[in-house]
């Protein structure tokens, strides 16, 4: 009986050993290798799992090319570290060099080796990685090399981490400035961050943080110090974000909108943080190409969250649409060879083009800035009561637009009022006021375009229509090519949905070709060209749907320790939210895309896809207990969107 048990145990161990040797056999590679944009010689340990290469063990990769060095410039790199089951782990070192030699450089021969002195920039990053995140002290150093000697240190940062979270004190410096500050254990900026300059004594700029909240900024101006209050009265609705360029822009805009002191925040302190982040992002991009990592450090800060309501979201989407269309009209009119020739002999054409130029220089600049702030998700973190008057850099906004221009030998000053000018109200100093302005500018641009088109002769109009139709066909071809390319890269329902985009575009083009009223064709051609361009944007977003759905699944999955099985298990959180998203909203989106897509609702569907994904990302961090209770019996997708606070309306008028 004992012998039988021993034989059984031996056979079981043999199976396990066989699997470890052949199912995940430890292998080694030495030879040429490419990781993202880096190509060189590599040596590393790995194993195969279901046909995939899993890095496991020491890793080394380098590139140095003498021929490049002698002829122009050598882009040198050297990476050294280790992986554990495809995750970087242990000590790592990254070296980057951009080296050249002087034209008159003389090669030396020492012990049968050629030796040459190099010039250039050398950067080294080193530290320890724990399960894909920086852990312990990391240093970044950039040096200027002259004749193979360190001429000066251009940049250096020293930061301590605990599993990717910055800790304790840190220092970042370049050749002119040094920044010193510290973090709390959760990575929140804390205490006074001080910036020193080699050009003057003492602290030139200091940021005063309190558990992530920036209370004030002190800036040295000549012989006195200016204080800029930021969140000195506290934050009513705090939200934690990364301390990055977007955060600095939030602070700058917040200070402009709320502060009496108009001293500009120069951002010298932040420039060091941006440079530091650039170096870490470089390493993060590389490690992400090789295995699984979360290397990018996140400096955390608190900002006041001012949620955009549905009305504001609707208006901002419309502002963006009006701005895009107005800009296209403006560029087409101002660059038109025919109109620029016509204006030399036609005073009215010169006047109207001067109005377009004025609208572009002032009004469109404001709309562009608001659109940019909206796209970067900055407006949600600033008060908006006086935003239009603060962002508008000219005289009071008015429906009357004055222009001065030279025609023949005379200087002429005239005023222009757009159609239905009396219907617009610009006195509202908020998003609604900017929305009114955007609508007025779009109406004025379209009216001017119509007037200028009528001035062109029939022959010119025919030529213009031919050019418009050439552009229309080119846009249609680009759309078809893009859809075909995207369909090759994806599978499943998004792949078949892309066919619906081509079908909708074909139907719109067929309807255009059957038009008999030639006078309406130019406007229709422009509208369709813009539509097909938007459909390309929509196609890109459709191709990302599956990736976004997978990302949402991962985001709403927590790893929970199961004491009964002594294992870490995946557990779905906020099931009512993810269930409503997966079982109701996603099928609704696919149905709309497959069966209801047209030029009329393309912008709406783009916004719907964007806003749905944004809200799913945001809801993960919000208190949603009340919302989840309401979702238990709700099956209407429109009602769910309303509960999720997803903006759904974006009206587009068909010409």
Confidence of residue 88 (pLDDT cuts 50, 70, 90): very high
User: By C-alpha distance, which of 204, 206, 203, 212 is closest to 231?
Assistant: 212
Question: How far is 322 from 608, CA to CA, in rounded Å?
Answer: 18
Contacts of residues 424-429 at CB distance under 8 Å and 24 or more positions apart, as own/partner, are: 424/399, 426/388, 426/397, 426/398, 426/399, 428/388, 429/385, 429/386, 429/387, 429/388, 429/389
Higher pLDDT among residues 404 and 456, named by residue: 404
Higher pLDDT among residues 6 and 36, named by residue: 36
Neighbouring C-beta atoms of residue 488, cutoff 10 Å: 9
Q: Give tens-digit pLDDT for 40-55.
A: 999 999 998 877 788 9
Tell me if 214 sits within 8 A of 207, measured CB to CB.
Answer: yes
Share of the chain above pLDDT 90, in %: 42
Q: Give tens-digit pLDDT for 324-361.
A: 999 999 999 999 888 887 888 889 999 999 999 999 98
Vertex 466 angle, CA 462 and 472, to 5°: 140
Q: How far is CA 440 from the centre of its chain?
A: 30
pLDDT of residue 204: 87
Question: How far is 54 from 24, CA to CA, in rounded Å?
Answer: 9
pLDDT of residue 528: 93
pLDDT of residue 16: 37
Residue 19 has pLDDT above 50, yes or no: no
Confidence of residue 652 (pLDDT cuts 50, 70, 90): very low
Residue 13 has pLDDT above 70, yes or no: no
For residue 193 the two structure tokens come to 């961050």
Q: What is the mean pLDDT of residues 273-302?
A: 87
User: By C-alpha distance, which of 609, 599, 592 is closest to 472?
Assistant: 599
Domain chopping of the chain, boundaries: 2-300, 308-454
Q: Give tens-digit pLDDT for 239-283.
A: 998 888 888 888 888 877 776 555 556 667 778 888 888 898 899
CA distances from 296 to 59, 139, 181, 281 (A): 20, 14, 19, 6
Tell me if 387 sits within 8 A of 315, measured CB to CB.
Answer: no
Chain-wide mean pLDDT for the chain? 85
Report helix angle 493-513 to 586-595, nearest 10: 30
**DSSP alpha helices (H): ranges in 456-601?**
458-489, 493-513, 521-543, 545-555, 575-580, 586-595
- Return the SS3 of 305: coil
Higher pLDDT among residues 270 and 366, named by residue: 366
Question: How far is 582 from 546, CA to CA, in rounded Å?
Answer: 11
pLDDT of residue 272: 86
Residue 4 has pLDDT above 50, yes or no: no
Q: How many residues does the chain have?
A: 655
Question: How far is 620 from 578, CA to CA, in rounded Å?
Answer: 10
End-to-end alpha carbon distance in the chain: 91
With tokens 């999955």, the residue in question is: 557
**Residue 267: left if φ>0, alpha if ψ -120 to 50, beta else—which one?**
left
Return the DSSP state at 188. Answer: B
pLDDT of residue 1: 43
Question: How far is 358 from 350, CA to CA, in rounded Å?
Answer: 12
Confidence of residue 422 (pLDDT cuts 50, 70, 90): confident
CA distances from 199 to 176, 177, 178, 202 (A): 7, 9, 11, 10
Confidence of residue 6 (pLDDT cuts 50, 70, 90): very low
Query: Up-side HSE of residue 528: CA atoms within 13 Å toward CB?
Result: 27
pLDDT of residue 267: 60
Residue 631 has pLDDT above 70, yes or no: yes
Residue 190 has pLDDT above 90, yes or no: yes
Residue 17 has pLDDT above 80, yes or no: no
CA distances from 160 to 140, 153, 269, 273, 477 (A): 12, 21, 19, 15, 53
**Which residues is 114 bridged to in the sheet?**
109
For residue 309 the two structure tokens come to 């309501």
Tell me if 72 sits within 8 A of 100, measured CB to CB.
Answer: yes
Residue 236 has pLDDT above 70, yes or no: yes
pLDDT of residue 106: 62
**Which residues is 240 bridged to in the sheet?**
302
pLDDT of residue 268: 73
Question: How far is 401 from 437, CA to CA, in rounded Å?
Answer: 12
pLDDT of residue 498: 92
Q: What is the mean pLDDT of residues 232-240?
A: 86
């Amino acid at each position: 009986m004992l012998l039988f048990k021993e034989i059984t145990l031996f056979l079981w161990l043999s199976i396990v050993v066989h699997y470890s040797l052949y199912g995940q056999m430890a292998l080694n590679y030495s030879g040429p290798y490419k990781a993202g944009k880096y190509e060189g010689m590599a040596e590393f340990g790995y194993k195969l799992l279901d046909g995939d290469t899993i890095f496991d063990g020491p890793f080394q990769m380098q590139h140095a090319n003498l021929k490049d060095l002698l002829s122009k410039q050598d882009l040198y790199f050297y990476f050294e570290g280790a992986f554990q089951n495809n995750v970087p782990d242990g000590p790592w070192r990254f070296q980057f060099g951009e080296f050249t030699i002087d034209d008159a450089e003389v090669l030396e021969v020492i012990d049968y080796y050629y030796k040459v002195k190099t010039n250039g920039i050398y950067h080294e990053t080193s530290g320890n990685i724990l399960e894909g995140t920086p852990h312990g002290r990391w240093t970044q150093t950039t040096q200027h090399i002259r004749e193979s000697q360190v001429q000066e240190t251009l940049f250096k940062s020293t930061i301590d981490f605990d599993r990717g979270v910055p800790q304790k004190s840190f220092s970042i410096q370049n050749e002119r400035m040094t920044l010193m500050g510290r973090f709390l254990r959760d990575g929140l900026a804390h205490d006074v961050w001080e910036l020193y300059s080699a050009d003057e004594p003492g602290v030139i700029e200091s940021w005063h943080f309190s558990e992530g909240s920036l209370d004030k900024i002190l800036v040295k101006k000549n012989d006195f110090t200016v204080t800029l209050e930021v969140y000195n009265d506290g934050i009513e609705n705090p939200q934690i974000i990364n301390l990055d360029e977007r955060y600095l822009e939030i602070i700058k805009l917040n200070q402009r909108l709320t502060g009496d002191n108009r001293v500009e925040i120069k951002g010298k302190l932040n420039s060091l943080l941006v440079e530091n982040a650039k170096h870490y992002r470089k390493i993060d991009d590389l490690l992400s190409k090789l295995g699984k990592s979360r290397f990018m450090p996140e400096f955390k800060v608190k900002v006041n969250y001012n949620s955009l309501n549905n009305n504001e979201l609707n208006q901002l989407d419309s502002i963006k649409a009006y701005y895009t269309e107005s800009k296209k009209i403006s560029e087409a009119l101002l660059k038109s060879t025919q109109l620029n020739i016509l204006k030399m002999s036609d005073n009215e054409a010169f006047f109207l083009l001067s109005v377009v130029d004025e609208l572009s220089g002032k009004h469109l600049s404001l709309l562009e800035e608001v659109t940019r702030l909206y796209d970067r998700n900055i407006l949600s973190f600033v008060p908006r009561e006086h935003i239009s008057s603060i962002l508008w850099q000219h005289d009071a906004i008015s429906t009357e637009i004055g222009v001065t221009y030279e025609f023949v030998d005379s200087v002429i000053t005239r005023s222009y009022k757009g159609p239905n000018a009396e219907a617009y109200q610009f006195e509202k100093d908020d998003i609604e006021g900017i929305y009114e302005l955007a609508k007025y500018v779009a109406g004025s641009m379209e009216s001017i375009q119509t007037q200028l088109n009528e001035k062109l002769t029939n022959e010119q109009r025919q030529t213009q229509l031919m050019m418009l139709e050439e552009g229309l066909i080119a846009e249609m071809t680009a759309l078809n090519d893009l859809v075909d390319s995207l369909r090759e890269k994806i599978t499943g329902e998004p792949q078949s949905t892309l066919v619906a985009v081509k079908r909708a575009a074909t139907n719109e083009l067929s309807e255009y070709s059957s038009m008999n009223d030639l006078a309406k064709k130019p406007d229709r051609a422009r509208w369709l060209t813009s539509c097909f361009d938007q459909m390309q944007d929509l196609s890109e977003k459709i191709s990302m749907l599956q990736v976004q759905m997978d990302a949402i699944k991962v985001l709403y999955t927590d790893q929970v320790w199961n004491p009964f099985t002594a294992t870490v298990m995946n557990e779905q959180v906020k099931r009512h939210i993810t269930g409503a998203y997966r079982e109701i909203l996603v099928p609704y989106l696919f149905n709309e895309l497959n069966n209801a897509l047209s030029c009329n609702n393309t912008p709406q569907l783009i916004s719907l896809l964007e806003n749905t994904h944004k809200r799913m990302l945001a809801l993960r961090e919000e208190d949603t207990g009340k919302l989840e209770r309401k979702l238990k019996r709700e099956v209407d997708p429109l009602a769910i969107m309303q509960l999720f606070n997803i903006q759904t309306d974006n009206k587009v008028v068909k010409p």
